[in-house]
Amino acid sequence: MASKRLSLPQKLADGHGVCGPCHSPSFERWRYIRAGRSAWFIAQQALDTHGNQALNNRKQAEKLIGEDSAIVERRQDMELWFSQQHTPEVQLSIRVNKQLYSGESSLQRIDVFESPEFGRFLALDGRVILTEKDEFIYHEMIVHVPMAVHPNVRKVLVVGGGDGGAVRELAKYPEIEQIDLVEIDEQVVQACMEYLPKVSAGLGDERLYIYYEDGLKFVRNKEDMYDLIIVDSTGPFGPGEGLFTKEFYDSCYKALKEDGIMVNQHESPFYEADAASCLRAHKRIVESFPISRVYQAHIPTYPSGYRLFGFASRRYHPIHDLEGEKWLERGIETKYYTPRLHEGAFCLPAYVEKLLRKVEIRDEGT
């Protein structure tokens, strides 16, 4: 069988990227590690039945990986894996067929891979942002939940979301007149348009205006402009850090019309560090909006496979004002969202309710 070759993100720097083999009865590993990132690629070579000696020094490992070309040769007995740490004790690993794109903007590292299980997937700074197999869950839930509540959305702001998935779902609504997409990293948009066309299909919509700038700075000067704001950001780190601040949520409140809705990805409540980030974000939103609720979805490739979303509004309640029948009459095709699921998504597990209750002040009956 002919060998296949897989590109790695960068050349192996002297003294970096090669670890000693992790001994096992059945295989040896060499890790390609980018300093300061949470993800790595593992080139794994199974020992043959004759018990060949393991490669056990840097020079031999470099020969395997390719010191100058930064290319891993994939033979019948080798596999390439992308791994991301969710906690110091837990990681997600996805077997990779090939790397389609690797680049580094002034803000972050951008990689697109192809995998047998999840199809193509996007990673930013070593963190999985989306995969072709499960992205529909995230994008349908962040878009159709508010669209089924607000009766008259005409102008929408999407902050982040350079992959285009949220815009693709918004484009299904003919009554929307304008979609402003504010993405801080133009290189993310370019990579997704070229390598993730199923996700980025909506980026060619004629109602779309793209602004390549910081979301906090953009929304800071807006007032009474939008019916809906979708905060489709990465987590509270790197380029997305400013989108989890009290200043940002206050600015979104002012940028919304008097009956406007804001939704955001709310992190996961399962692992301790993620739960702390979730609680901080929720506290700041509760302080900024009179109506603030949280809903859920199960997304396999996100930490713990569980993701929360925030629903914040100046007027509409996500359940009391749900227009389920009217939404169904639109005939919008979805793979995950339904009005019945919408209602159930706001029924949170007891441990999540307990967590959120620490920062919530609710009026009786709401």
> What amino acid positions are annotated as catalytic residues?
232
Q: Locate tokens 């700041």: which residue?
A: 284
**Contact by Cβ (8 Å): 156, 172:** no
**Contact by Cβ (8 Å): 124, 31:** no
Dihedral sign computed on CA atoms, order 332, 255, 105, 87: negative
Contacts of 160 (CB under 8 A, 6+ apart): 182, 183, 184, 215, 231, 232, 233, 234, 240, 243
Q: 318, exposed or middle or buried, with CB in 10 Å at 0-12, 13-18, 19+?
A: buried
Q: Tell me the residue ranges of DSSP E strands in the chain.
A: 4-7, 27-33, 39-46, 71-74, 78-87, 90-96, 98-104, 109-115, 119-124, 127-131, 155-160, 178-182, 208-211, 226-232, 256-265, 291-298, 306-313
How many angstroms separate the CA atoms of 76 and 92, rounded? 23
The Cα-based distances of 317 to 143, 164, 260, 282, 294 in angstroms read 16, 27, 11, 16, 11
Contacts of 305 (CB under 8 A, 6+ apart): 298, 299
Q: Which of 125, 108, 129 is nearest to 187 (CA)?
A: 108
